[in-house]
Amino acid sequence: MSKVFSEKIKIALIQLKGSSADKSANLIKAKNLIDNAMTREPSTKIVVLPECFNAPYSVTKFRDYAEVINSEKKSQSVSLLSSIAARYKITLIGGSIPEIDLQTDNVYNTAIIFNENGDLIDKHRKVHLFDVDIPNGITFKESDSLSPGDKATTISTPYGNIGIGICYDMRFPELAMISARKYNAFAMIYPSAFNTVTGPMHWHLLAKARAVDNQMYTILCSPARDMESNYHAYGHSLVCDPKGNIISEAGEGEETIFAELDPKILEEFRAGIPLDKQRRFDVYTDVSK
């Protein structure tokens, strides 16, 4: 198990306005907002972008905007985010972007993660696709154009391990359990685009549930709400501590929020309520195995 960080870490969540049809403009906006965040808070170590930040969030558009994601031949989005991470020496969770696998022709909703040197250290393909039909609410079916990922993702940083999920993945507790139990992750980060129907119902509840169940920080980064777009994101990017307290939260519009992740809170809460020593795997299955 990795050692959890020993000093406070500052994190920034970039809640940028829902992506336009102009990919280059979307990327420039993301860069400018990160530049602004790092100017305001230069001690920031981790920066997070929202789900599908570089393209319209639409099942009919994912393939049109999809990029090949690898370290050898960097695509437009990968190249830009790599340079930003290297410039500021940050861990950059590049939200998610549409990805195409040229071998299979499958398209994925994929989070891309960079280290302080600008290296693409991992990617997470959204495991659970957003296929819902809520009466008098919303109908959306990602599987019309996307394929699901097939692995849980935990990344190693200089501060300890972090689990990664994307939006609908949050509703399935197993990914967070695996990161927390198997890899001792201190945080779970979900670039997410809940909408104005599902957001009011469960956004805060799920953040608190994943945090308390796994005694870890839970971090949700949403696009800003744009009522002129076809998809209306909920906003309210937030950081939830292991006790279930929301320690930082955005509103609906475009903004950047900051929070400090404190190892003492993590350690004291885990020691005071020692769930890791009290689980009964003789009674139920350990999903992290």
Active site members: 51, 126, 167
Q: Which DSSP symbol is given to 67?
A: B
Q: Please name the residue that has the structure tokens 């839970």.
A: 218
**Cα torsion 127, 252, 63, 71: sign:** negative
Number of C-beta neighbours around residue 76 at 10 A? 13
SS3 83: helix
Alpha carbons 95 and 192: distance in angstroms, whole number = 8
Distance CA 79, CA 75 (A): 6
Cα 261 from Cα 151, distance rounded (Å): 26
Distance CA 68, CA 74 (A): 8
Judge contact between 54 and 17, C-beta under 8 A: no
Q: Which of 162, 164, 49 is nearest to 97 (CA)?
A: 49
Under 8 Å between Cβ of 269 and 242? yes
Single out the residue of 74, 78, 19, 100 nearest to residue 52, CA to CA: 19
CA-wise closest residue to 193 among 58, 77, 27: 58
Counts of helices then strands in the chain (DSSP H, E): 7, 15
Task: Please tell me what DSSP assigns to residue 65.
Answer: H
